Amino acid sequence: MIVMQDIYKTYANGVTALNGINVNIDQGEFVYVVGPSGAGKSTFIKLIFQEVKPTKGSIMVNDKDLTTLKSKHIPFLRRDIGVVYQDFKLLPKFTVYENIAFALEVLEESPRNIRRRVMEVLDQVGLKNKARFIPDELSGGEQQRVSIARAIVNHPKLLIADEPTGNLDPETSWEIMRVLESINATGTTILMATHSKEIVNTIKKRVIAIEDGLIVRDEHRGEYGYEI
Amino acid sequence: MKFRTFKRHFREGSKNIWRNSWMTIASIGAVTTTLLLVGAFLALMLNLNHVADNLEEDVQIKVLVDLTADDKEIEAVGEQIKDIAEVDTVDFSTKEEELRSLVDSMGEEGGAWELYEQDNPLNNAYIVKTTDPQDTMKIAGEIEKIDKVEKVNYGQDVVQNLFQFNEYARNIGLVLIFALVFTAIFLISNTIKITIMARSKEIGIMKLVGATNWFIRWPFFVEGLLLGVLGSILPIIILLTGYYYLDNSTTALDQFSFMTLLDFHPFAWQLAGLILLIGAAIGVWGSVMSVRKFLKV
Ligand SMILES: Nc1ncnc2c1ncn2[C@@H]1O[C@H](COP(=O)(O)OP(=O)(O)O)[C@@H](O)[C@H]1O
Ligand SMILES: [Mg+2]
């Protein structure tokens, strides 16, 4: 599903964020990406949906070779990948319903399918009664659930989350994790960068640890491995 | 693009008008101010042009035929005038008719002239109109050279000044309209710059969710179009009402036959249509500018 070979990334300001990454992630896996701040976790994740382009190396996602992908095809790549951010990235003037529907509208789905599917995911994340609210009227946990709903509304094979619980209190974080696990149970691959030792050590999954732009550890049913 | 997506863009564009209410008010304000100025000015310009045309219409050449000319020679003069390419109409006016119109134009005092009916000192004349009033001077010169033409009158000084004035008026009008349009562009592009900053984050999010550039652009176009149209409503109402009252009021200027306004119908409606079009164009143009630089990545 995701194959990276010898990936290097140096930003325009000269900072080298990734220093030769090799990784292979299969369909249906649940993977944590851990490591200290500034290690390169976000950069690693952004490569997958081309928010960042590698300086060197090759990436294949969903059998698409991203190194040769033309920029006008990037939107189509992104439609197959759901992304969840620490800061939610919801459209502030759009209602919960409109935020989620947007991801289907870009696919030119019929209004009837859009309505049905949006209500379905709203139910899945437990926000059916908040469809007409705007993001500012929701708690952090609710906003994150909206952004998860938006990420999965078009049945992506891959869901990427960059510290999705980073801004949430522990209890809300567990709620979000339950939602992510249920999504993973339907066969969706999940790749999640996190700082939460409790989560990684409790819900045991594959752990990839990045330090100074290199993968220093990659183990199935792994531990967080850092003292915070 | 599927038709339902087109409908979706139209719906989104309209919603954005409500979602960004402050920007909407600012943009409509800018468009309204601009169109009011442009509209008032256009009305003024076009009417000035109309008056100028009226005046030019009235310009005619009076060709006085030599008193010694016999009927045949008089006719020959007429034929030669007609042969000049730029001449539109040629009317013959006998010296009796000339006297009559002179007497009439004198009113009360005209009576004295009636004495001359026995021994008319006036010339037979041709009244010549040119296809293009601008040719008057040139053609008058040509007619003067014809045999048995005594004199050519066309209000020499007046005509020259009139044409000069009309040309100035037209040029100044054009310059002012350009100046206005530039001011408008400046005003609106500033409003839009603010809009962009407010929206850049939004556009970024849309792209991360997989929207193509065109998918993002369309609602902006619709929004711009609607803002332009909304911004033209007030100017149209004001100009239509204002013009209606002006057209129906009598002023001191009415005593001059050439001082007529263009008729309310159809002129005012055409002006309204033009303002609507300009408004829509400004709106779409503004939105094209506003999204362009944010869609590069
Ligand atoms: N857009 C950017 N421009 C320049 N440097 C960046 C950019 N994004 C991240 N970096 C740098 O790259 C390194 C890795 O950052 P990041 O991938 O965000 O790490 P993490 O998510 O693990 O904290 C850091 O040194 C960071 O300062
Ligand atoms: Mg990060």
Q: What is the pLDDT of residues B172-213, one digit of tens each?
A: 878 887 787 677 777 767 776 777 777 888 888 998 898 998
Q: Of A33-47, A70-84, B23-37, B264-278, give the range with the top mean pLDDT.
A: A33-47
Our CA-based measurement puts residue A207 at a distance from the nearest CA of chain B, in whole angstroms, of 26
The pLDDT assigned to A13 comes to: 95
Mean of per-residue pLDDT scores for chain B: 82
For B210: left if phi > 0, alpha if psi spans -120 to 50, otherwise beta; the answer is: left
The verdict on residue A137 lying in a domain is yes
Q: Which helix (H) or strand (E) holds A22?
A: strand A16-25
Alpha-carbon gap, residue B289 to B283, rounded angstroms? 10
Q: Which residues of B touch A83 (CB under 8 A)?
A: 208
**A169 in a structural domain:** no
By C-alpha distance, the chain A residue nearest B16 is: A93
Looking at per-residue pLDDT, the higher value among B113 and B51 belongs to B51
Q: Which residues of B touch A76 (CB under 8 A)?
A: 210
Region A64-77 average pLDDT: 90
Which residues of chain B have a Cβ shorter than 8 Å from any chain A Cβ? 1-2, 4-5, 8, 16, 19-20, 202, 205-212, 215
Confidence class for position B220, pLDDT limits 50, 70, 90: confident
Question: Based on the structure, what is the number of domains in chain A?
Answer: 1
Bridging pattern class, strands A16-25 and B61-65: unpaired
Q: What is the pLDDT of residue B76?
A: 87
Residue B34 exposed, middle or buried by CB count within 10 Å (0-12, 13-18, 19+) = buried
- The more confidently predicted of residues B253 and B231 is B231
* Residue A150 Cα, gap to closest chain B Cα (Å): 8
Q: In this predicted model, what pLDDT tens digit does every residue of A107-132 receive, in sequence order?
A: 999 999 999 999 999 998 999 999 99
* Residue B268: count of CB within 10 angstroms of its CB: 22
**What are A111's two structure tokens?**
């209004």
Ligand 1: residue whose CA is nearest its atom 24: A38
Query: Are residues A43 and A18 in contact, defined by beta-carbon separation less than 8 angstroms?
Result: yes
Helix extents (H) in A95-185? 96-105, 111-124, 140-152, 170-185
Whether residue B22 is predicted with pLDDT greater than 70 in this model: the reply is yes
Strand order in the sheet with A158-162: A81-84, A158-162, A189-193, A30-34, A206-211, A214-219
| Among the ranges given (A101-105, B47-51, B91-95, B217-221), the one the predictor scored with the smallest mean pLDDT | B47-51
Q: How confident is the model at residue B258 (pLDDT cuts 50, 70, 90)?
A: low
Query: Cα–Cα distance between B147 and A175 in angstroms, integer?
Result: 110
- The β-bridge relationship of strands B125-130 and B61-65 is antiparallel
**What is the C-alpha to C-alpha distance for residues B107 and A177, in angstroms, rounded to an integer?**
105
* pLDDT number for residue B254: 63
Residue A111 lies in a domain: yes
**Confidence label for B233 from pLDDT (cuts 50, 70 and 90):** very high
Whether B258 and B51 have beta carbons less than 8 Å apart is answered as: yes
Report whether pLDDT(A228) > 60. Answer: no
Region B140-157: mean pLDDT is: 83
A192 CB burial (10 A radius; 0-12, 13-18, 19+): buried
Contact A3, A67 (CB under 8 A): no
Burial class for B168, CB neighbours closer than 10 Å (0-12, 13-18, 19+): exposed
Give the pLDDT of residue A182: 93
The mean pLDDT of A7-34, rounded to a whole number, is: 96
CA-CA distance, A136 to A139, in Å (whole number)?
Answer: 8
Residues 6 or more apart whose Cβ sits within 8 Å of residue B85: none
Is the pLDDT score of A6 beyond 90?
yes
| Residue located via tokens 């969706």 | A188
Does any domain span residue A141? Answer: yes
Determine the pLDDT at residue A90: 96
Percent of chain B residues topping a pLDDT of 90: 13
In the prediction, which pLDDT does B47 show? Answer: 83
User: How much is the CA Rg of chain B, to the nearest whole Å?
Assistant: 30
In a domain, A132, yes or no: yes
Is it the case that residue B292 has pLDDT exceeding 80? no
Q: How far apart are the C-alpha atoms of B45 and B175, rounded to whole Å?
A: 11
- Distance of CA A17 from the midpoint of ligand 1 (Å): 6
Q: How far apart are the CA of A38 and the centre of ligand 1, in A?
A: 6
One-letter amino acid identity for B157?
A: D
pLDDT-derived band at B294, boundaries 50, 70, 90: low
More confident residue, A23 or B38: A23
In the sheet that holds A64-65, the strands lie side by side as A16-25, A2-10, A56-61, A64-65
Site residues for ligand 1, CB cut-off 6 Å: A 11, 13, 15, 17, 35, 37-43
Residues near ligand 2 ion, CB 5 Å cutoff: A 42
Determine how many CB atoms are found less than 10 A away from the CB of residue A169. 12
Q: Which two tokens stand for residue A108?
A: 């030119």
Inform me whether the pLDDT recorded for A64 exceeds 50. yes
Q: Tell me the per-residue pLDDT of B91-147, one tens digit each, with 9 for 90 and over.
A: 888 888 888 887 777 777 766 777 777 777 788 888 888 888 778 888 888 888 888
DSSP B128-190: EEESSGGGHHHHHHHHHTSTTEEEEES-HHHHHHHHHHHHHHHHHHHHHHHHHHHHHHHHHHH
Cα–Cα distance measured from residue A19 to residue A129, given in angstroms and rounded to the nearest whole number: 46
Kindly identify which residue of chain A lies nearest to residue B20, measuring between CA atoms.
Answer: A93
Chain B residue numbers touching A72 (CB-CB < 8 A): 212
Residue A102 covered by a domain: yes
Separation of A86 CA from ligand 1 center, angstroms?
15
pLDDT tens, residue by residue, A143-167: 999 999 999 999 999 999 999 999 8
Measure the CA–CA gap between B217 and B292, rounded to whole angstroms. Answer: 9
- Provide mean pLDDT across the span B227-247: 91
A103 versus B1: which is more confidently predicted?
A: A103
Segment A171-200, tens digit of pLDDT: 989 999 999 999 999 999 999 999 999 999
Q: How confident is the model at residue B156 (pLDDT cuts 50, 70, 90)?
A: low
Ordered by where they begin, the domains of chain B are: 3-55+161-294 (no CATH), 60-153 (3.30.70.3040)
**The pLDDT value given to residue A207:** 97
CA A47 – CA A43 distance, rounded (Å): 6
For residue B40, give the H/E element and its range.
Answer: helix B21-57
Q: Is residue A167 part of a domain?
A: no
pLDDT above 90 for A81: yes
The answer to whether the Cβ–Cβ distance between A51 and B202 falls below 8 Å is no
pLDDT band at B297 (very low <50, low <70, confident <90, very high): very low
Q: How far apart are CA B171 and CA A207, in angstroms?
A: 77
The C-alpha atoms of residue B85 and residue B76 are separated, in whole angstroms, by 16
ipTM of the complex, rounded to two decimals: 0.88
For B280, the token pair is: 């829509």
Please state, in angstroms and rounded to a whole number, the distance separating the CA atoms of residues B91 and B88. Answer: 10
CB of A89 within 8 Å of a chain B CB? The answer is: yes
- Residue range A194-211: mean pLDDT, rounded: 95
Residue with tokens 């325009």: A12
Specify if A45 maps to a domain: no
Domain that residue A145 falls in = 91-155
